[in-house]
A and B are shown apart, each in its own frame.
Chain A
Amino acid sequence: MTIVFDRVSFTYPGSREPSLHGLSFHAARGQVTLLTGLLGAGCSTTVLVAAGVAPRLLGGSVEGDVTVLERNPGTAEGWRDLAGRVAVLLPTPWTQLSGMTFTVADEVAFGPANLGWDREEILDVAAVAMDQLSVTHLAQRDPATLSGGELQRVILAGLVAMRPDVYLLDEPTVELDPEAADAVYALLPTLAKTAAVLLTTTDSDRAVEVADSALYLESGQLVSAGSPCDVLGSERVVAAGAGVSVATLFRDAGARGPYPVDVAAAASRWMTA
């Protein structure tokens, strides 16, 4: 297993209540694992803990075992071993720009260059990554002049270029317009071929199309886990307002759970009903 959480609790510094309570789950290479819940449920915190940022950078206290690629990302040595293998994407594009580059092409190559790869190899992987995220036409632009959506794709390209083993994606598409968001979600199964993808999002409609498994959190606790259809169509999740829109429509129309999560399932249920 690539990411393993074993009864993990986490408390932010200066806070009394833990933000995660005894969370256990695992995410495997080859899969897109969806982590979902309402705002404040602990999804972003889970990403930060998996990245070891909490407690290494943010402070706070962790109980239980966090293991990523057989190492503990919360320690300096663990993170050093994981360098370049764990890609973290946050929802705020501006704070994630390296700040050191003057063109998009160099921004995408920033990570591989820091890992000391050969120059030719870097230029290759950067070109491929820019193509995958459809930002090749921006290659010579100054990153400071890009829109939030363009920037988020450039930063994701910068992570893809590093060929990581783990992607931790926290609300990767909030800055994107619908078409760009579709394109990013369509790319996730490709990324998952060589890596474990842990995705948090409130965009259940798109996520359910690409996720291989889903976890649903409430107040820092794992409430349900399983196939995306089961989790996102379950009574509890839909009732909480975190389900997909088709399921929510069915519930609002007075149907009973478990609800269908996509249009095809909805149509077949309509037929059989």
Chain B
Amino acid sequence: MTVGYLPGAGFLHRAHPFTAMAIGGGVAVLAFLLAPPAGPLAVLALGVALAMAAGVWRVLIPAAVISGPFWVFLFAIHGLFREAPLTALGLSARMTASIVAFLLVIAVVHPGRLVEALLARGVPFAAAYLLAAAIQIVPRFQNRARAILDAQRCRGLRLRGSPLRRVRAVVALAIPLVLSALAEVDEHALALETRGVGTGKRRTILHPPVDTPLDRAIRWAVLGVLAVAVLVTYP
């Protein structure tokens, strides 16, 4: 199960990142706007159809895994104990539709293209930088955490036993990781400086994504659909 970008050339891959995000965001908002349980169920079907059409049906696997617990717990809490299975159905469909929409967007929008689109739109460099850097640091720190865990387990670390012992063990893992991360700050700051960050120059955007009139029309259409949905649901 992979969460994140899936290489492809479907219509959402080719669209401007903002367009794909508007469509995904529209689906998620619609799921919360329309009356349950029929509304959210219909929106969920729309989300699934979009994922298939965009050539990323594989997002449905993580979507099922992530939304599974919602179905179980919502039916347990509302269906069994409070005898309102329709409430559970509506809420579950809502969650699942937004999860599908979200996974769809991150599957078709490459983070690099999103960053370029944000910069092209005038988002401050620092904001675009932090978003990209945070995304990039994830695998690095996941690997580092895993390596530390494995190494300490080999040296006899036990993450079982009494709660106090487990807390002590996790603190012993955390401190070297945090100290090594803080030791990197100045070196990385130097690296950024020497590459011209902080000079006050206006950054050149290398690959601005193309924003066609069709892209803009679709984004307005999404907004229109949402406006209609509001008027229909809350007349």
CB atoms of A95 and B191 under 8 A apart: yes
CB atoms of B191 and A98 under 8 A apart: yes
Question: Is B124's beta carbon under 8 Å from chain A?
Answer: no
Q: Interface stretch among B68-76, B97-105, B202-210?
A: B202-210
Q: Select which of B129, B136, B189, B196 is within 8 A of A115 by beta carbon.
A: B196
Question: Is B160's beta carbon under 8 Å from chain A?
Answer: no
CB atoms of A116 and B192 under 8 A apart: no
What 1/0 flags go to A110-125 for Cβ under 8 Å of B? 1111111111001100
CB atoms of A102 and B110 under 8 A apart: yes
* A154 cross-chain contacts in B, Cβ below 8 A: none
Known contacts A57-B186, A114-B203; is A100 also within 8 Å of B132 by CB? yes
Q: What separation, in Å, do the CA atoms of A79 and B186 have in the docked complex?
A: 16
Q: Interface stretch among A29-37, A84-92, A227-235, A238-246?
A: A84-92
Q: What separation, in Å, do the CA atoms of A111 and B206 have in the docked complex?
A: 12
Please, which residue of chain A has its CB at the minimum distance from the CB of B199? A83
How many whole Å from B8's CB to the nearest CB in chain A?
Answer: 16
Number of residue pairs A-B, CB distance < 8 angstroms = 107
CB atoms of B190 and A110 under 8 A apart: no
Please, which residue of chain B has its CB at the minimum distance from the CB of A92? B187
Known contacts A98-B195, A102-B111, A123-B206; is A114 also within 8 Å of B201 by CB? yes
CB atoms of B193 and A101 under 8 A apart: no
* B193 cross-chain contacts in A, Cβ below 8 A: 53, 57, 79, 83
* B203 cross-chain contacts in A, Cβ below 8 A: 113-114, 116
Interface residues of B in 199-234 (CB under 8 A from A): 199-206
Question: Is B197's beta carbon under 8 Å from chain A?
Answer: yes
CB atoms of A113 and B204 under 8 A apart: yes
Known contacts A101-B112, A113-B203, A119-B204; is A53 also within 8 Å of B197 by CB? no
How many whole Å from B195's CB to the nearest CB in chain A?
Answer: 4
Question: Is A74's beta carbon under 8 Å from chain B?
Answer: no
CB atoms of B191 and A57 under 8 A apart: no
CB atoms of A51 and B199 under 8 A apart: no
Please, which residue of chain A has its CB at the minimum distance from the CB of B133? A99
CB atoms of A162 and B196 under 8 A apart: yes
Please, which residue of chain B has its CB at the minimum distance from the CB of A142? B136
Q: What separation, in Å, do the CA atoms of A19 and B232 have in the docked complex?
A: 74
Interface residues of B in 133-165 (CB under 8 A from A): 133, 136-137, 139-140
Give the number of residues in A that approach B within 8 Å (Cβ atoms): 43
How many whole Å from B203's CB to the nearest CB in chain A?
Answer: 6
* B188 cross-chain contacts in A, Cβ below 8 A: 95-96, 99
* A99 cross-chain contacts in B, Cβ below 8 A: 129, 132-133, 136-137, 188
CB atoms of A86 and B133 under 8 A apart: no
Question: Is A158's beta carbon under 8 Å from chain B?
Answer: yes
Known contacts A102-B112, A119-B206; is A110 also within 8 Å of B195 by CB? yes
How many whole Å from A46's CB to the nearest CB in chain B?
Answer: 15
CB atoms of A83 and B196 under 8 A apart: yes
CB atoms of B194 and A100 under 8 A apart: no
Q: Select which of B112, B115, B187, B195 is within 8 A of A114 by beta carbon.
A: B195
Known contacts A100-B136, A109-B206; is A84 also within 8 Å of B187 by CB? no
Residues of B in contact with A (beta carbons under 8 Å apart): 110-112, 115, 128-129, 132-133, 136-137, 139-140, 184, 186-206
24 examples of A-B residue contacts, CB within 8 angstroms? A53-B190, A57-B190, A80-B199, A83-B193, A86-B194, A88-B191, A96-B187, A96-B188, A96-B191, A98-B191, A98-B195, A99-B132, A100-B136, A102-B136, A103-B112, A106-B112, A111-B194, A112-B196, A114-B197, A114-B201, A116-B204, A144-B139, A144-B140, A162-B195
